[in-house]
Amino acid sequence: MTGILIGLVIGLPWLGALVLWRVSDERPRLQHALAVAFSSAAGFASLALIPFASAETAVRIDVGRYFGELTFVADGLAVSLTAIACVIGALAVIFSMDYMRAEAQLSRYYAFILLFIGAMAGLVLSGNLLFMFFFWEITALCSYALISFYNDDPKAVAGGVKALLITQVGGIGLLAGALTAYSALGSYQVSDLLAKAETLPSNFLALTAFGFLIAAAAKSAQFPFHTWLPDAMEAPTPVSALIHAATMVNAGVYLLARFYPAFAQVPGWTLAVTLVGLVSALIAAFMALAATDLKRALAYSTVSQLGYMVYAIGVGGVLASQFHLLSHAVFKALLFLAAGAVIHASGTRDMRRMGALGKQMPFVRNVFVFGALALMGIPILNGFWSKEMILEAGLSHGPIWALVGMVMVAGMTAFYTLRMTWLVFFGEARESRHAHEAGRAMKVSLGLLGLGAWTTWLLIEPFSALLQHTLPFHGISSLNLSELSHEIFAAPLTYAALIVIALGLGIFWMVRKQAAGRRESWMDVLSRESFGFEWLNRRVASWTVGLGSVLQRTQTGVLSWNAVGILGALLIVLVFLVWSVK
């Protein structure tokens, strides 16, 4: 039964992608209907999979001598991420019914979204390292195709190429790690790596560990690979909500969480993970303070919250990090979709040109406020519980200076979130715009996600029990609601964090009149250059192009020089053969 459900969860979206590829663009209603049907079916299948989660391998297909076995394991980590991907995917597709109503080439759009959903499910369910890499690359392809969806806009294409290049560099880390593990273990199976990690020679294990860390940092837009996510906001907003907030960027966090027991023993690894999370959270929150583009601000916020999750893994709180992943997926998707409704209605992404839209769009304003409260970590929305769990884990196992940084980030988060909400929905209307309320399909998605922001924290007990029983190597202990409340409300850290959040809110309230100013300050310059990393990107790009033009001189097009090349290669082969025979 588990195997069938796994097949449905990966196969239904892929079948949908194939079908939608063939549907003509002359029939948009059919396209919308088919996309919603396939993604909803996948969503239901993923929810049906949850009761069947276990630590055993559900599907095992032999693929020959060199690749080992293609296995799928439906354990707690996999099943929860699959459910997030499929359910939020379905909601994003439903939202797209209204958002993409007048767009062209919908079959390309929906086909890639469905392909992505299936690939994401395959990525987290995979029990074979090589196939995990395979699904990883498919998600990178879909991300590129969807960011550059408006392919006659050069900014969109540039954003897509940048995302692709940076995440591919990470992919090399994943492949190198997988191959290193294979050469030491003789097997690509994840369960083998987790069980026998101590038996690996220490430099092999370190290479694998840091290779995976690079892959995770690149995929989750963490420092030093954080520059691609803000530029990826050229994608249509449902894509930003699904891929760049709720699913693909979580793949990096998933990777770290899955392999934490194997790599925690590598000296310096947990410290590196903590640092990556901390620095990402700090610089992204800083860049969000001055952002003027609504989606870019949300992108910085995503990087910052992912920094929280990575930090949590670094200090050993895998349960806290996964719980925050769940909360964040819900409230960030909510925020992005609501932002999409605002952008669709008002025609601009620049927050300085919005204002007082709450009067014209009450429903969107309300759900956006819910999402904002969750992001800030206000009790009792889901963000509060998971963020406090992370801070608790940081206090008990991690370095104090890192914890201080994370609490500061909580304050900055409160500031920029309130700033975003205020600039868009409250205050005075800076430009008179006529914004219509969101359409019916949009309201369905937004409403369901808004409900989730208030309630997903109630799932802590089944969630932690699921992880405890299906992850034999992680040592997670289950937690029920009363234990959780006791832990959070009895800890002084919680109150300290709440005070810092209130401080952030208060500071914004005092400066709210200057929030919509148009002069560019040093903060804007620093954000735009991503703390110097954009310069680094430009250097690498120009160096590569220069190398290409130098090497271009070998392509003379003249047959005689090609013949020299052929004979030169023959020479090298002969030298090698003669030398090796000796």
Partner 1 sequence: MNLSPLDIVLLGTVLLLAVGFYGLLITRNLIKLVLVLQILVKAAVMALALAGKSSGNLGLGQSLAATVIVADTVVAVVALALAVQVRKHAGTLDVTKLSSLRG
Partner 2 sequence: MENIAYLLLGLAAAFCAYRAMISKHLLPSALYLACVSASVSISLYLLGAYEVAVIELSVGAGLVTVMLVYTLSVVGEDTYDPASVIPKPLALLVVGVIAVLAAWMAYPVVSRPVASGEVLLADVLWKQRALDVWVQVALIFSGVMGVLGLLSERTIKIKEEQILQMAETEKPIAIQMEEEMRV
Q: Which is nearer to partner 2, 489 or 561 (CB)?
A: 561
Q: Are 303 and 226 in contact (CB under 8 A)?
A: yes
Q: Does 578 bind partner 1 (CB under 8 A)?
A: no
The number of C-alpha atoms within 13 Å of 145 and in the hemisphere containing its C-beta is 18
* Only segment of 22-30, 255-263, 443-451, 561-569 that touches partner 1 (CB under 8 A): 561-569
Among 492, 555, 581, 582, binds partner 1 (CB under 8 A): 555
How many CB atoms are closer than 10 A to CB 275? 18
φ, ψ (nearest 5 deg) of residue 248 = -60, -40
- Binding-residue total with partner 2 (CB under 8 A): 13
Nearest to 424 by CA among 376, 337, 516, 357: 357
Q: Which is nearer to partner 1, 540 or 566 (CB)?
A: 566
* Spatial separation of the C-alpha atoms in residues 501 and 141, rounded to whole Å: 39
Tokens of 480: 């029920």
The entry of partner 2, partner 1, none that residue 554 binds, CB within 5 to 8 Å by partner kind: partner 1
The entry of partner 2, partner 1, none that residue 550 binds, CB within 5 to 8 Å by partner kind: none
Q: What is the DSSP letter of 437?
A: P
φ, ψ (nearest 5 deg) of residue 225 = -110, 30
Q: Which is nearer to partner 2, 151 or 556 (CB)?
A: 556
Exposure string of 378-395, with b = 16+ CB inside 10 Å and e = fewer, is beebbbbbbbbbbbbbbb
What sign results for the dihedral spanned by CA atoms 23, 26, 28, 33?
negative
- Binding-residue total with partner 1 (CB under 8 A): 11
**Smallest separation, CB 157 to partner 1 (Å):** 24
Tokens of 339: 């932002």
Q: Are 440 and 328 in contact (CB under 8 A)?
A: no
Q: Which is nearer to partner 1, 499 or 571 (CB)?
A: 571
Q: Which is nearer to partner 1, 492 or 557 (CB)?
A: 557
* Spatial separation of the C-alpha atoms in residues 290 and 418, rounded to whole Å: 12
Among 540, 564, 573, 574, binds partner 1 (CB under 8 A): 564
* Spatial separation of the C-alpha atoms in residues 246 and 39, rounded to whole Å: 15
The entry of partner 2, partner 1, none that residue 552 binds, CB within 5 to 8 Å by partner kind: partner 1
List the interface residues with partner 2, window 502-561 (CB under 8 A). 558, 560-561
What sign results for the dihedral spanned by CA atoms 175, 124, 139, 336?
negative
Q: Does 24 bind partner 1 (CB under 8 A)?
A: no
φ, ψ (nearest 5 deg) of residue 267 = -65, 130
**Smallest separation, CB 576 to partner 2 (Å):** 10
* Only segment of 223-231, 309-317, 557-565, 572-580 that touches partner 1 (CB under 8 A): 557-565
Q: Which is nearer to partner 1, 396 or 556 (CB)?
A: 556
Q: Does 490 bind partner 2 (CB under 8 A)?
A: no
* Only segment of 105-113, 222-230, 414-422, 550-558 that touches partner 1 (CB under 8 A): 550-558
Q: Which is nearer to partner 2, 102 or 581 (CB)?
A: 581
Q: What is the DSSP letter of 457?
A: G
**Smallest separation, CB 557 to partner 1 (Å):** 3
List the interface residues with partner 2, window 551-570 (CB under 8 A). 558, 560-561, 564, 567-568, 570
List the interface residues with partner 1, window 396-425 (CB under 8 A). none
Q: Does 558 bind partner 1 (CB under 8 A)?
A: yes
Q: Which is nearer to partner 1, 482 or 560 (CB)?
A: 560
Residues for the chain: how many in total?
582
The entry of partner 1, partner 2, none that residue 574 binds, CB within 5 to 8 Å by partner kind: partner 2
User: Which residue is listed with tokens 């500061």?
Assistant: 408
For residue 126, the cross-strand partners are 72
**Smallest separation, CB 574 to partner 1 (Å):** 12
Q: Does 33 bind partner 2 (CB under 8 A)?
A: no
How many CB atoms are closer than 10 A to CB 437? 14
How many CB atoms are closer than 10 A to CB 151? 13
* Spatial separation of the C-alpha atoms in residues 558 and 518, rounded to whole Å: 58
**Smallest separation, CB 553 to partner 1 (Å):** 8
* Only segment of 320-328, 402-410, 452-460, 548-556 that touches partner 1 (CB under 8 A): 548-556
Q: Are 371 and 450 in contact (CB under 8 A)?
A: yes
In degrees, rounded to 5, the angle at the alpha carbon of residue 407 between the alpha carbons of residues 406 and 412 is: 90
Residues near partner 2 (CB under 8 A) are 558, 560-561, 564, 567-568, 570-571, 574-575, 577-578, 581
Residues near partner 1 (CB under 8 A) are 552, 554-560, 563-564, 567
